[in-house]
Structure 1
Amino acid sequence: MTLRVTGKVVTPTGVFRQGCVEIAGDRIRAVAEYPTVRDGHWIVPGFVDMHTHGGGGHTFTTGDAESARQAAEFHLGHGTTTLLASLVSSPFPLMREATAAYRPLVESGVLAGVHFEGPYLSAARCGAQNPEFLRDPSTEELAELIELGGGAVRMVTVAPERDGALEAIKLLVGQGVVAAVGHTDATWEQTRAAVAAGASVGTHLFNGMRPVHHREPGPVVALLESPNVVCELVADGVHLHDGMLGFATSVAGPERAALITDAMAAAGMPDGEYELGGQAVTVADGVARLSRDGAIAGSTLTMDAALRHAVAAGVALPDACRMVATTPARAIGLGDRVGALQPGLRADLVVLDDDLNVVRVMRAGAWVE
């Protein structure tokens, strides 16, 4: 049975103003002009969130499989058809438990993988990471987690200046795991060394990083100028000024800039008191901050809201769609499966109205209820 979805179709190479996505089973069979279409909705690729900690009142950070399933379901309703479950810095036993708990969810396709944001991070740039759990990278721990996950561990964020960081990055890359640079006080030279060792992602660029200085460019410049590095950007108007969002996008280009949510459990929920990695978080006016010191503690963002914000900030819609789908999919090694409206890829798409609000979501050829 063939299904046709018609409207203004956004592809990696442009827009079919009168377009059709033809779907057979769980795959896209064709994308083409469809002259009989008049003033349809926007048809864009399903969003790929490579960095999210939870949403809808549920979290990925505790290793609870049912909570993870419900967080993924919440984000699916906002158009995110592929996501990584991001943990925060934790004791090793919790990292093991989460890897084992989430492996079946990865194998069944609920999650695309696990992202460990820490604990191998800088104390000076820990942000909302719990400083109690920060430590130097351990190749022994990483090797054990990778084996335990059986392919579930997809990305690990490391601060390059910590002892053993380059060895850890080489191990990760050698095992097919994405090594990311983040929560770091590294110099430009140290960051360049991490990239040379195989690091290919900048974790929420600017946030949790040594600031740019004209006599010490630091990690931001080293990551932006590296042609093989995808830079994550949190487009919520809180993590980044819109001028900085536009600047980073113009430097990296949409093929190296990926929008993420960095969302926590409070996404989609009322203001109030929450928890992240064992630390109290207060959400006020939709902004999540550590209760103890006011540090930004993730976000309450969803990927559809990130897309709207980026477009309102001046990013062209086709570029913004690359940044919420095609680029992150490629960054985490899934670009041959998802992330674009192209024949042969999984039939993941989002139907948006002219204000870019979600109308319908399709995942693997089936409409999401």
Structure 2
Amino acid sequence: MSLTLADAKIVTPEGVHEGWLTIEDGRITHVGHGSAPGPGLSVGGRHVVPGFVDVHNHGGAGGSFPTGDPDRARDAVALHRRHGTTTMMASLVTDTVEGLAAAASALAGLCDEGLLAGIHFEGPYIARSRCGAHDPTRLREPSPQEFAGLVKAGRGHVRMLTIAPELPGALDTIRFAVDEGVLAAIGHSDAGYEQTIEGIEAGATVATHLYNAMPPLGHRAPGPVAALLDDERVTVELVNDGVHVHPAMLRLAYEVAGPGRTALITDAMSATGLGDGDYVLGSMAVRVHDGVARLVEGGSIAGSTLTMDVAFRRAVQELGMSLPDAVQVASLTPARLLGLAGRIGSIAVGKAADLVVLSDSLEVDGVLKDGVWITEP
């Protein structure tokens, strides 16, 4: 199958240009400037950007990845694809070891199909004092031996572990995870600056939703935020929904980390795409009001109802990012984090034709996955 998109504003790492691109057998084969050399589908001057990559997502459309239900997981993937996320990781929440293993085993099948890019264990090795919407009764001390069983259950698809580095056994578990090819992410932690540095030195390279579920930035006790932002080895996740983090703090993190170390995430939960009401995240009851998800008991933020197209649009319109930089933090940097930047994350010859067509107001008008329309403009 061959398709040419013409009359487009194409956003690449080098900038934005008016031009065209050709897709054959699911791959980008040509990227050109000006008028297309032959007939093509005109997108009417709309922007074309690479598909978004979300490395922290719990579900949507009523589907919750922590349940391990493959059919409902498909619903969640379909919803987020319609919003431009063509690659996503399934994030689990704290549960029993048996429950986590069962969910990972079930989701591994969707990874085999290419619907998911991997599995993220957000818990159970996190701090009780910063557990947020995680069930505190199911938290555990980190154990490399125990985590090895979870990795085995994921059949080669476990890609990330969120862990509090101050917990007993955490540093050894971080080292084990990295040796197994799993990204170690610091989050849901009460660690101080020095303890965070120890976690990074042990191999952690990701900050799970920076600022959230960790001590705040302080001028005498800088805490984990300063350590994570300051280290060039660390990619920081940011939830850009106007709720999780004040825009001023988002801009501060972005100014320090830059587009090369910033990854927009949704932290979306099952309510995404459905509206207000009562839901469940893991074993915790959640109420969504005015689009904000909070625990029924205690009121902690419980994920989000964010989609990546909204996060991208806010990055440009609220945070002042250029289009190429917004594309990098929504696509290329998270793709690089997953080791997939050679195949996805930017518009370039040879890469997969995972593309999003955006209006002048940056609303999604069309989505291609591997050269096939999910929604056609």
Whole-Å separation in 2 of the counterparts to 1:13 and 1:197: 35
The match for 2:24 is: 24
The match for 1:75 is: 80
The answer on 1:325 being equivalent to 2:326 is no
* SS of 1:196 mapped into structure 2: helix
The match for 1:14 is: 15
The match for 1:338 is: 344
In 2, are the aligned partners of 1:154 and 1:177 still within 8 Å (CA)? Answer: yes
Picking from 237, 251, 254, the partner of 1:249 is 254
Shift of 1:148: 2.8
Shift of 1:270: 1.8
Deviant stretches of 4+, over 6 Å? none
The answer on 1:118 being equivalent to 2:119 is no
State, as a whole percentage, how many aligned pairs show the same letter: 52
Whole-Å separation in 1 of the counterparts to 2:50 and 2:349: 12
Summarize deviations over 1:75-120 as a string: whole Å, max 9, x none.
0110000000001111101111111111111011010010110010
Whole-Å separation in 2 of the counterparts to 1:31 and 1:141: 48
The match for 1:178 is: 183
The answer on 1:259 being equivalent to 2:260 is no
Higher mean Cα deviation, 73-82 or 35-44?
35-44
Shift of 1:142: 1.5
The match for 2:313 is: 308
Picking from 330, 341, 354, the partner of 1:348 is 354
Picking from 144, 155, 162, the partner of 1:150 is 155
> Residue 198 of structure 1 aligns to which amino acid in structure 2?
G
* SS of 2:21 mapped into structure 1: strand
Whole-Å separation in 2 of the counterparts to 1:52 and 1:139: 25
* SS of 1:156 mapped into structure 2: strand
Q: Name the count of aligned residue pairs.
A: 368
TM-score normalized with structure 1 length? 0.97
Q: Tell me, which stretches of 5 or more residues in structure 2 are unaligned? A: 37-41
Give the aligned CA root-mean-square deviation in angstroms.
1.3
Whole-Å separation in 2 of the counterparts to 1:146 and 1:79: 29
Whole-Å separation in 1 of the counterparts to 2:21 and 2:148: 42
The match for 1:44 is: 49
Higher mean Cα deviation, 189-198 or 74-83?
189-198
Shift of 1:39: 5.6
* SS of 2:149 mapped into structure 1: helix
Matches within 5 A, 1:274-285: 274-285=279-290
Shift of 1:307: 0.7
Shift of the 137–38 alpha-carbon distance from structure 1 to 2, 3 Å rule, reads closer
In 2, are the aligned partners of 1:8 and 1:43 still within 8 Å (CA)? Answer: yes
Whole-Å separation in 2 of the counterparts to 1:20 and 1:174: 43
TM-score normalized with structure 2 length? 0.95
Picking from 200, 204, 209, the partner of 1:199 is 204
> Residue 269 of structure 1 aligns to which amino acid in structure 2?
L
Summarize deviations over 1:306-352 as a string: whole Å, max 9, x none.
11111111122211111110011111222122111112221100000
Whole-Å separation in 2 of the counterparts to 1:84 and 1:97: 17
Shift of 1:157: 0.4
Shift of 1:143: 1.2
> Residue 208 of structure 1 aligns to which amino acid in structure 2?
A
* SS of 1:162 mapped into structure 2: coil
Shift of 1:145: 2.0
In 2, are the aligned partners of 1:54 and 1:267 still within 8 Å (CA)? Answer: yes
Q: Tell me, which stretches of 5 or more residues in structure 1 are unaligned? A: none
Summarize deviations over 1:36-85 as a string: whole Å, max 9, x none.
68961100000000001011111111111111111111101100000000
* SS of 2:71 mapped into structure 1: helix
In 2, are the aligned partners of 1:200 and 1:331 still within 8 Å (CA)? Answer: no
* SS of 1:274 mapped into structure 2: strand
The match for 1:33 is: 33
